[in-house]
Structure 1
Amino acid sequence: MTHPGISVMMYLVSAIEWTAFVCNHTLGTKWQDSLAGHGEKGIMSSIVSCTLAKNFRNPWGVWVIAGLHGLPVWIIGYQYNLFGSHLWFLPKFVQPLGLVILGMGRLLCFLIEIWSIWIHISVLLVNTSMS
């Protein structure tokens, strides 16, 4: 059984993911180049560029994608005690360590999604104010 607060948070996560998807979809086939080459300077711009480099085929990209796709599966394994029943041979520290590593990757993914939405909105506002 899931905690009620967790299920409510999943709606927020899903809404952010879909909003980021729509914002990036409007950039077309070169969405990665548009985000990575955005003129805004700062730590997030550097992190986004590092993550998107080589089509996510780098340590940052693998970490983010693993957090995005692996964390839900890891949490389900935790909920249904798969580590105790089927993966009993793994050391006890693997379960919380995986949760932390995948959780941090998902958090980084969340920050990149928020950043891409922010960039999309700021570009819309600048283009609207110039016309």
Structure 2
Amino acid sequence: MGHDVLFFVPNVIGYFRLFLFGVSVPLFQQPYWFLLFYGTSVALDAFDGYFARKLNQTSRFGAWFDVVIDLVSRGGLWCMLSKYGYYMILVEWLTFLATHSIGSNWKATDDDFPYVCKLVMAKNFKTPLGAIAISGLHGLPIALYCQHFSLMTPTVSNIITLFLTCGRILALRVELFYIQNHIKSLLNSEEH
């Protein structure tokens, strides 16, 4: 397989997603154009996984690359929204580092997991609580962008932002657990 993986359909979709994000950056002050390019990049995230399974083109590189694209684009948006956006994406990168070091089995929970983390992660995040957390993770920066440019009525914007903030807090609880465990494992390996 080797270098062929780089040209798998899901990874080509990933390259296009990065291109769309790059096009969206200079359009940040033009909300409709920005959302067209950024939103298309985000929407394509569903297709790379679909084609990976459909075409039997799953790979370790593809799984890694998909998350990197999400972090680069979402991180870019967080940083464009606020000078403190860096801290939000820093937590996501640290979580990626922690989960990536575990391997593909990172979603498996055990008795050491806090109850809330188990609920959020149950059935591969495919529960109401998991869906809320994932929605907050992906949707909050977009909602804040829309709020910044007054693209929705204030009442609707506030309700959506509140809902997504709750989801982001749930995701943050899981992220902090993984970061904490990763640091513990590093410290424990120093002792041996």
TM superposition shift of 1:96? 1.0
Match of 1:57 in 2: 126
Which whole-Å deviations, capped at 9, do the CAs of 1:51-82 have from their partners, x for residues lacking one? 11111100111000000111111111111111
Provide the residue aligned with 2:150 in structure 1.
81
Q: Which runs of 4+ in 1 moved over 3 A?
A: none
* 2:178 corresponding residue in structure 1: 116
Q: CA separation in 1, counterparts of 2:145 and 2:176? A: 25
Is the Cα contact below 8 Å between 2:120 and 2:170 reproduced in 1?
no
Match of 1:98 in 2: 160
| Structure 1: unaligned runs, 5 residues or longer | 85-91
Q: Please report how far the alpha carbon of residue 127 of structure 1 lies from its aligned counterpart in structure 2 after TM superposition.
A: 3.3
**Is 1:8 the equivalent of 2:45?**
no
CA distance in 2 between counterparts of 1:75 and 1:20 reads: 22
Residue 30 in 1 paired to residue 105 in 2? yes
Q: Can you give the 5+ residue segments of structure 2 that lack an aligned partner in the other structure? A: 1-28, 30-80
Q: Distance in 2 between matches of 1:67 and 1:13?
A: 12
Secondary structure at 1:53 match in 2: helix
Distance 1:125 1:40 in 2: 18
Q: 2:121·2:130 contact (CA, 8 Å) conserved in 1?
A: yes
> 1:14: how far off?
1.0
- Residues 133 and 167 in structure 2, CA contact (< 8 A), matched pair in contact too: yes
1:80 alignment partner AA? F
Aligned 8 A contact 2:100 2:106 in 1: yes
Structure 2 SS opposite 1:32: coil
State the Cα RMSD in Å.
2.0
2-structure distance, mates of 1:108, 1:55: 15
| Percent of aligned pairs sharing the same letter | 29
Q: Which has the higher relative contact order, 1 or 2, with Cα contacts under 8 A spaced 6 or more apart?
A: 1
3-state SS of the aligned residue for 2:112?
coil
Q: How many residues are treated as equivalent by the alignment?
A: 114
Q: Which letter maps to 1:25?
A: H
